[in-house]
Amino acid sequence: MAVFAYKATDPTAMIVRGTIIADSPRQARDELRGRGLTIHDVVAQRATTNGFAWKLLRRPGRSAAKVGSAVRELSTLLGAGIPLLEALDTLANQYRGSFRSSLLMLRERVAAGSGLAEAMREQPDVYDMLCVQMVDVGENSGTLDVVLEQLSSFSERSLEFKDRVTSALMYPALVLFMSMGVGMFLMTVVVPMLLDNLLDAGRPLPLPTRILKGLSDGVRHHGWWIGIVVVLVAVGIVAALRTERGQLFWHRLLLRLPLVGGMARKQEIARVAIIISTLMKSGIVFLQALETAARATKNRVIGQALLSGRDAVLAGRDIGEALAPTNVFPPMVIQIFTVGQQSGKLEEMLDRLSATYERQVNSLATRLAAALEPILIVFLSIFVGFILFATILPILEAGNVL
């Protein structure tokens, strides 16, 4: 299905503009004629790409910032008394590209009689389960603008948390990238020029120099093949990680890694705590909030643990007792769920838990970045030092012979 913008004349000779969803321009024209309109122009809007390669390489959640901003703006418009269809039209005029097409599809579905949550559910790549669930609650309770405000606050808090962690790891990633670039330049340009003079002398090369020459020749003569193999391996790994078994294996391995595993665990638990707290404040019962958090979490292992805990709670067990056997959550998290259930202040305690874990993850990310910087610099120094040693060694041996 694609979104088409049209300009037409109605039976009263008034110019009308709008959008319509159809499989082809011809089908769009036929449907508009069926409404009694005289067509002037039908233009296809830019649609979201659905090809396999796009799905494989597209970064998940890449539109999260746009969704959060649109939700905030929609809440403001609805709070000002603007009807939903007009609010969606206003939002669509503020964006371009695939996200504009998404908003136009929402508008078309709502105009056809569907609910906003139902229309969002048809686009799972753009609107996650948490967004759909909270919008559904807002529509049923008549407080859509209030719920959208809570949803936008959660989205902004999550993005801010993610940006802090990403910023802390940006410099080590930049150092690693520069190290790879310097290494490729040395191996393909500098080393061949230095070794050519040594080879012209006709003297036997020492072992370090022969190793360096082999590496340099391999990169120069087979660089394209090496690059193709690396790309194919990377694509294969990405494809495997997009499968359910691959994600489960990677997420289980990630939680077991030293340093990084603890940070990833706390980051996901903080996200789960925010989701459950936000949903419960919106009037959703705990079991439903727990299931939504399980579906919304990015770590499959933690998601499965939450679903197992939900099943145990349905069987009559307390929350803490239900989550403890999963061996995924730290004792402090189990204790917070237990005390929160007993005191009736679970939402407040989960907010405190998420704030605590966010501070800890931010601190861990900063420390990890501080530790990676000297490690990468030392690695680059060793690599460049080996090249210099392997290049200078035959010159020193020739001097000793003379």
pLDDT tens digits for 81-95? 888 888 888 888 888
Most confident among 163-172, 193-202, 209-218, 297-306 (mean pLDDT)? 297-306
Q: Indicate the average pLDDT of the chain.
A: 79
Give the Cβ contact number of residue 257 at 10 Å: 11
Written in H, E and C, the secondary structure of 331-361 is HHHHHHHHHHHHHCCHHHHHHHHHHHHHHHH
Classify residue 188 by its DSSP letter: I
Rounded Cα distance, 131 and 154, in Å: 10
Most confident among 130-134, 175-179, 292-296, 347-351 (mean pLDDT)? 347-351
Return the structure tokens found at 238.
Answer: 């990405």
Rounded Cα distance, 382 and 374, in Å: 12
pLDDT at 50: 44
Nearest-5° Cα angle at 22, 20 to 28: 70
Which residue in 63, 89, 88 sits closest to 75, CA to CA?
88
pLDDT band at 165 (very low <50, low <70, confident <90, very high): low
Rounded Cα distance, 167 and 111, in Å: 42
Query: Kind and range of the H or E element at 18?
Result: strand 15-22
Q: Which residues contact 187 (CB under 8 A, 6 or more apart)?
A: 215, 216, 219, 220, 387
Residues paired with residue 17 on neighbouring β-strands, in sequence order: 7
Rounded Cα distance, 22 and 9, in Å: 19
Which residue in 255, 262, 286, 281 sits closest to 357, CA to CA?
262
pLDDT tens digits for 115-149? 888 888 888 888 887 788 778 877 877 778 888 88
Most confident among 110-114, 143-147, 327-331, 361-365 (mean pLDDT)? 327-331
Which residue in 360, 357, 379 sits closest to 368, CA to CA?
360
Record the pTM. 0.65
pLDDT tens digits for 270-281? 888 888 887 888
5: three-class secondary structure by DSSP: strand
Task: Convert 7-31 to b/e letters by CB count within 10 Å (16 or more is b).
Answer: ebeeeeeeeeebbbbbeeeeebbee
Mean pLDDT within 349-362: 86
